[in-house]
Amino acid sequence: MTHGKGMKYLYFLFSLPYSPHHSPPSSFPLPPLSIEDLELPVWNYDGSSTYQAEGSNSDVYLYPCAIYRDPFRLGNNKLVLCETYKYNGKCTGRGRNVIGRLWDSPRTETNKRKSCKEVMDRAKDYVPWFGIEQEYTLLDQDGHPFGWPKNGFPGPQGPYYCGVGANKVHGRDVVEAHYRACMYSGVKIAGSNAEVMPAQWEFQVGPCEGITMGDDLWMARYLLHRVGEDFGIVASFDPKPVQGDWNGAGAHCNFSTKDMRVENGITAIEAAIDKLSRHHVRHIKAYDPNEGKDNERRLTGLHETSSIHDFSAGVANRGTSIRIPRTVAAEKCGYLEDRRPSSNCDPYSVTEVLVRTTCLDE
């Protein structure tokens, strides 16, 4: 399908930077990004169609909060990330440079950005950095893992992680096109790899400071779904898409503060781990959208995970809740890796609770 005549024609229309089958020019001029310079209006949509509001009072307001270059339409086109708010008696509808105004209206239940932003603003002096490793699984449109035999299973796990070759990995076209889309858009994508289960992949975003982690990761997820459309392939963020002896999918969150990144920062890392050890349940509740229910299927203690019921930490140990990377232990500074967040986590909730527990002592 990806090599069909029609598809090639489509990619010509898309022009070079996004095309998975043509290399972009070594440097292409990127139109600048600045949310302040644009007069973005408050907009609204029918929240009853998205289960976010009742039919009788169904307008949900969109408040622009971050801006990206549009890798599909190119030129001066932008993609705008918005927060969602319910009805607001005070909305003037004039909608010019409204960022920061009208925030007394109730957020929707799924708007986790609002409180995250408040926490990040309060913790500004800690200069928190995050890097999230987003794992996901590519599926056929029928929901079957992409490239798997239709009436059975591939050979057992082992040869697939960071693999190369059509018998090892499935869907690299999607991965590459997505990577380019992220780079063009301004998402701080940092790397990608094929995962332990065939058709499972990972991309890393970061390091991002504060609220930018959640913004960039949500935009990266959106871009992945959009790119997948062109290939007829679906990206799933389910933390355990296939039962049995197959790895689940997580969203390891790498985290550091200013104090952890300087000489002997290991002391600050250990202090943070000590605080995290006393709030395990609270963190598990924030690490998937169903307060731990989704992650229960994944955090079994097998397949490079720790048990959902216990907190643990260790150097270079992938069976723990928190891992201190080997290089960090050797250099005595850097960051920690929280391996618990589920692939379908809300990065705003994850980064918020990390900062609340380790910086603000809340």
Report the interface residues with Mn ion, using CB under 5 A: 133, 202, 252
Least Å from the CB of residue 298 to ligand ADP: 16
Contact set for ligand ADP, span 112-131 (CB under 6 A):
129-131
Between CA 101 and CA 95 the distance in angstroms is 10
Contact set for ligand ADP, span 80-119 (CB under 6 A):
none
Coil, strand or helix at 314: strand
Write out the DSSP string of 197-214.
Answer: STTEEEEEEEEEETTHHH
Residue 261 found at the interface with ligand ADP (CB under 6 A): yes
Between CA 24 and CA 15 the distance in angstroms is 9
Least Å from the CB of residue 133 to ligand ADP: 4
Binding-site partner at residue 255 among ligand ADP, Mn ion, none, CB < 5 to 8 Å by type? ligand ADP
Sequence letter at residue 233: I
**For the packed helices 266-277 and 347-358, what is the interaxial angle rounded to 10 degrees?**
100
Between CA 312 and CA 280 the distance in angstroms is 10
Least Å from the CB of residue 186 to Mn ion: 22
Binding-site partner at residue 44 among ligand ADP, Mn ion, none, CB < 5 to 8 Å by type? none
Which candidate, 331, 333, 332, 315, places its Cα nearest to that of 323?
Answer: 315
Cα–Cα distance list, 124 to 119, 211, 299 (Å): 9, 10, 32
Binding-site partner at residue 206 among Mn ion, ligand ADP, none, CB < 5 to 8 Å by type? ligand ADP
Least Å from the CB of residue 117 to Mn ion: 26
Binding-site partner at residue 126 among Mn ion, ligand ADP, none, CB < 5 to 8 Å by type? none
Between CA 54 and CA 209 the distance in angstroms is 36
Least Å from the CB of residue 188 to ligand ADP: 8
* Cβ contact 235:138 at 8 Å: yes
Between CA 299 and CA 177 the distance in angstroms is 31
Which one of 256, 305, 343, 357 is in contact with ligand ADP (CB under 6 A)? 256
* Cβ contact 268:309 at 8 Å: no
Least Å from the CB of residue 121 to ligand ADP: 19
Q: Measured from the CB atom, is 62 or 355 closer to ligand ADP? A: 355
Contact set for ligand ADP, span 139-198 (CB under 6 A):
190
Binding-site partner at residue 71 among Mn ion, ligand ADP, none, CB < 5 to 8 Å by type? none
Q: Measured from the CB atom, is 252 or 340 closer to Mn ion? A: 252
Residue 252 found at the interface with ligand ADP (CB under 6 A): yes
Sign, CA torsion 295/85/102/65:
positive
Binding-site ranges for ligand ADP (CB under 6 A): 129-131, 133, 190, 204, 206-207, 252, 254-256, 261, 334-335, 337
